[in-house]
Amino acid sequence: MSPNRRGNLADEVADHIRDAILTGRLRPGTRIDQDAIAKDMGVSRLPVREALISLDQEGLVRTLPRRGAYVERVQREDIADHYQLFGTVAGLAAARAVARLDDEDLARLEAVQEAMGRSDSPQEQERLNFEFHRIINTACGSRRISSLLKMLTRSLPMHYFEFVPEWPEQALHQHADIIDAFRRRDPAAAQRAMEQHLFASARHAVAALERLDFFEGSETNP
């Protein structure tokens, strides 16, 4: 197995475990059964160990010597802080993208927004939302910013369009503010609109996690 393939497997396993944690299927304090995960995903223990190292660095997992890996307790403030960072970096990307998005790119952004408004499928809305932000982040022209955004996006909790019924309509309004700033070629307005969009996401994320009893009723940490 090549190193690249092993890295891709580790990412897939990390995505699997992260999703289980952030949707409440793996509760805080739970010991992570590495053998069971390896068997379920049809991989060796190596990518599972690599995934747990990555998740430990994200603060979602705590690894104890000779005792194994446990789901870390995530607080409301952790979620809010994550979105604060994400919104700040995404706002910078939006400000940079204003000067680089041409008329064709702006038309694509508007088309994605319109398609998202027509869809009633949470999965399709999520895909279109990802595409909306991808167009802007790609246009920012900074590999460093894009890399940081990718890292921050990876740790975002849950799938909004499935778990937060009110989110699609609010996201559409906030996307419209972002598009309006791009139409006016106003970097400061684009940055503010993007920051406000993602700061609002933090409130929705915390509220949705509370509905899943994510912060209460947890097992005792080791």
Tens-digit pLDDT profile for residues 127-168: 999 999 999 999 999 999 999 998 888 777 656 666 677 788
Give the DSSP per-residue string, 156-177.
--S-HHHH-TTHHHHHHHHHHH
Give the pLDDT band of residue 6 (cuts 50, 70, 90): very low
The structural domains of the chain, ordered by start, are 3-71 (1.10.10.10), 76-211 (1.20.120.530)
Which pTM value belongs to this model?
0.78
CA 5 to chain centre: 23
Tens-digit pLDDT profile for residues 83-112: 999 999 999 999 999 999 999 999 999 999
Contact 154, 162 (CB under 8 A): no
